[in-house]
Amino acid sequence: MADSVPVINLAGLTPVEEKEKSYIVHLQTGVDKEAHFRALRLHLHGTSDIKDDYKLRDMYSGTFDEETLDFLRASPDVERIEEDVLSSIFG
């Protein structure tokens, strides 16, 4: 008996809109988080948004477009930015 390979017809499927990635932003120690948020809110565009503020840590998460990420990358308040892999997969 010959091995058979299943054939999947993708012709009827509709394209899935790519979900905006979520990021975790780590702030420098001692940064005034509320002052940082005030400055950041001026640079939130489209679907960019602060999602979770980790109150006991110097970090927060959100979805950010490239322009907002550029602002965050240039900010002296920010220690590092990493993709929130779990939120991007399951969120």
Decide if 5 is inside a domain: no
Its pTM stands at 0.74
Which domain does 45 fall in, by range?
22-90
Domain count, the chain: 1
Decide if 11 is inside a domain: no
CATH number at residue 37: 3.30.70.80
Decide if 16 is inside a domain: no
Can you give the pLDDT of all 91 residues of the chain as single tens digits? Answer: 556 666 666 566 555 455 668 999 999 999 999 999 999 999 998 889 999 999 889 999 999 999 999 999 999 999 999 998 765 445 5
Element holding 67 (H helix, E strand): helix 66-74
For residue 41, give the amino acid letter: R
